[in-house]
């Protein structure tokens, strides 16, 4: 349990970096950042795949199809939503919305995996939901106040950013549950091998996405300089850094945590990602969070800690499925 929690903490520290990319590349389309990041991830995975080739050969057709699904939704689509949200609504609000993942995943695991991991009593989860909702409301209030004070602010753009962040939540609610299901069903498989397999599966998807995006922008007559934009060196360097650390090392750490922890508990520990991402966002802004923002962050932490104290109850000792 302790080692699994430490792996989840390290994954959060690394994954918080992905929130920085859209803030550092505001002029780059979110779709280009998504395919660029995962093209770099896929290329990085190739030499790793060669080193792990014997273990990868043991994966069957169904395993590779699963890796492609996980890569498409948990990687490409998730980051497309996230980067789009951050570019439109700034860093703090999308980060806080992503911060709902611990409880959203816990509830989803409660519905889908109760027989395997035990049931989390609904009434005991309710206070954590209320605390997290209050925390998001506090941060949203601060961001809206700043927008209203800016004559050039676009509230509809901000609202769209919030909506896109919820799309990212949907993607990353599905991903860890499905990923944990595969890892639990294959206890003899190495989490490292599975992380590399997802990187290999991502490469053709990202390459195809890059080609489609480039073609689409050319047909539209876009003035954006493809293939690497107006700051090619910085773009490539950032994509490689995020691809290596956030995509491969972060996924490896998360896989190690997923094999050691119940799904609902592992999902709650994604709060580490939120806390580190918020820290990075305010460092980039060069400002200290306002008191109401700090209160919102504290409420979010309190909500997740509350949820962590709720222990799964085996269904043999609890009410049958469907009972309340």
DSSP conformational letter for 73: I
Q: What are phi and psi of 170, to 5 degrees?
A: -60, -45
- Among 47, 70, 41, which residue's Cα sits nearest to residue 206? 41
Q: What is the reported pLDDT for 322? A: 39
Q: What is the enclosing helix (H) or strand (E) of 102? A: helix 101-112
Task: Identify the three-state secondary structure at position 150.
Answer: coil
Q: Give per-residue pLDDT as tens, 230-276.
A: 999 999 999 999 988 887 788 788 878 888 887 667 766 777 888 88
| pLDDT above 90 (res 35) | yes
Q: Measured between alpha carbons, how far is 212 from 40 in angstroms, rounded to an integer?
A: 17
Q: Give per-residue pLDDT as tens, 124-153.
A: 888 888 898 898 889 888 888 888 877 777
- Greater confidence, 122 or 46? 46
Q: Measured between alpha carbons, how far is 262 from 184 in angstroms, rounded to an integer?
A: 10
pTM as predicted: 0.83
Q: What is the reported pLDDT for 126? A: 83
Q: Give per-residue pLDDT as tens, 60-109.
A: 999 999 999 999 999 899 999 999 999 998 888 898 888 888 778 877 87
| pLDDT above 50 (res 21) | yes
| pLDDT above 50 (res 12) | yes
- Greater confidence, 44 or 324? 44
Other residues' Cβ atoms within 10 Å of the Cβ of residue 114:
18
Task: Identify the three-state secondary structure at position 130.
Answer: helix
Percent of the chain with pLDDT over 70: 93
Other residues' Cβ atoms within 10 Å of the Cβ of residue 53:
11
Q: Is the dihedral of CA 106, 109, 114, 116 positive or negative?
A: negative
Determine if residue 221 is left, alpha or beta; phi over 0 gives left, psi from -120 to 50 gives alpha, anything else beta.
Answer: left
DSSP conformational letter for 59: -
Q: Is the dihedral of CA 154, 160, 165, 166 positive or negative?
A: positive
Is the separation of the CB atoms in 82 and 165 below 8 Å? yes
Percent of the chain with pLDDT over 90: 37
- Among 22, 25, 30, 28, which residue's Cα sits nearest to residue 225? 28
Place of tokens 């209203």: 148
Helix, strand and coil content of the chain, in percent to the nearest 5, comes to 80, 0, 20
Q: Measured between alpha carbons, how far is 173 from 107 in angstroms, rounded to an integer?
A: 10
Burial of residue 227, with CB atoms counted within 10 A of its CB: 0-12 exposed, 13-18 middle, 19 or more buried: middle
Q: Measured between alpha carbons, how far is 168 from 160 in angstroms, rounded to an integer?
A: 13
DSSP conformational letter for 313: B
Q: How many helices (H) and strands (E) does the chain have?
A: 17, 0
Q: Give per-residue pLDDT as tens, 153-168.
A: 788 898 999 999 999 9
Q: What is the reported pLDDT for 73? A: 95
Length in residues, the chain: 324
Place of tokens 């770099």: 40
Rg of the chain over Cα atoms, rounded to whole angstroms, equals 20
Task: Identify the three-state secondary structure at position 119.
Answer: strand
């Amino acid at each position: 349990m302790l080692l699994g929690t430490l792996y989840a903490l390290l994954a959060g520290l690394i994954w918080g970096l992905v929130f920085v990319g859209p803030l550092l590349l505001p002029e780059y389309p979110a779709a280009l950042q998504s395919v660029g990041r995962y093209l770099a991830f896929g290329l990085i995975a190739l030499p790793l795949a060669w080193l792990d080739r014997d273990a990868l050969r043991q994966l069957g057709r169904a395993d590779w199809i699963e890796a492609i699904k996980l890569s498409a939704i948990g990687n490409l689509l998730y980051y497309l939503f996230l980067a789009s949200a951050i570019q439109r609504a700034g860093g703090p609000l999308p980060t806080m919305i992503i911060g709902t993942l611990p409880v959203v995943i816990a509830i989803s695991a409660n519905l889908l995996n109760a027989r395997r991991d035990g049931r989390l009593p609904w009434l005991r989860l309710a206070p954590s939901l209320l605390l997290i909702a209050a925390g998001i409301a506090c941060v949203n209030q601060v961001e809206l106040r700043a927008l209203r004070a800016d004559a050039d602010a676009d509230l509809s753009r901000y609202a769209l950013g919030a909506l896109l962040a919820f799309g990212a939540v949907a993607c990353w609610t599905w991903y860890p549950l499905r990923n944990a299901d595969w890892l639990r069903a294959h206890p003899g498989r190495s989490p490292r091998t599975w992380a590399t397999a997802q990187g290999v599966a991502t490469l053709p998807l990202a390459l195809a996405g890059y080609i489609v995006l480039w073609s689409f922008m050319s047909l539209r007559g876009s003035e954006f300089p493809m293939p690497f934009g107006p700051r090619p060196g910085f773009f490539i360097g950032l994509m490689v850094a995020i691809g290596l650390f956030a995509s491969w090392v972060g996924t490896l750490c998360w896989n190690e945590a997923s094999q050691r922890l119940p799904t609902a508990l592992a999902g709650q520990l994604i709060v580490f990602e939120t806390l580190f991402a918020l820290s990075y966002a305010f460092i980039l802004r060069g400002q200290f969070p306002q008191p109401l923002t700090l209160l919102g962050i504290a409420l979010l932490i309190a909500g997740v800690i509350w949820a962590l104290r709720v222990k799964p109850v085996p269904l043999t000792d609890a009410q049958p499925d469907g009972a309340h």
